[in-house]
Amino acid sequence: MATLRVGLVSPEREIWSGEATMVVAQTIDGQLGILPGHAPVLGVLLDGSVVKVHPADGSPEIVAMVGSGFFSVASDEVSVLAEQAELGGEVDVEAAQQALQQALAGDGGDEQPSVAERRARARLRAAGLEA
């Protein structure tokens, strides 16, 4: 079976890498589903979106919140380079819910409320909760 080599990284660390059968990411131009043999693509990640990776070994789907960054595909290699990234299993749900409430109240700190809200909602989606 054909696979993709996937790397999901942030400036702090490598979030996930391995072989996958499919990757789904939200770019500013729309959602992209990548399968082996896909044409080369370069896109800008939608800040506050979710990336999903279907591992080739059949293990559970990898879901991660991503902030701003880039998404590239070339020769069955997928690189997700995110300024911020967090695996769904690592999300502090209580903190994410509090961040969402603050964003909705217009207290997103240094970030614009729309960005803070999108990031909080993406963290909750990555954790398996609808926000």
The model's pTM: 0.88
Residues 78 and 97 in one domain: no
- pLDDT of the residue at 30: 93
CA 79 vs CA 28, 49, 74, 113, 119: distances in Å: 16, 16, 9, 28, 20
Structural domain that includes position 67: 4-87
Beta strand 41-44 with 49-55 is unpaired
pLDDT, tens digit, for every residue of 64-111? 999 999 999 999 999 999 999 999 999 999 999 999 998 888 755 555
Structural domain count, the chain? 2
Residues 72 and 37 in one domain: yes
15 in the same domain as 45:
yes
Cβ atoms of 51 and 80 within 8 Å: the answer is yes
Q: Indicate whether 74 and 95 sit together in one domain.
A: no
Whether residue 95 sits in one domain with residue 35: no
| Pairwise CA distance, residues 113 & 104, whole Å | 7
pLDDT at residue 130 tops 80: no
Contact predicate 44/28, CB 8 Å: yes
Which secondary structure element, helix H or strand E, spans residue 63, and what is its range? strand 62-66
Q: Are residues 74 and 103 in the same domain?
A: no
Same domain, 95 and 108: yes
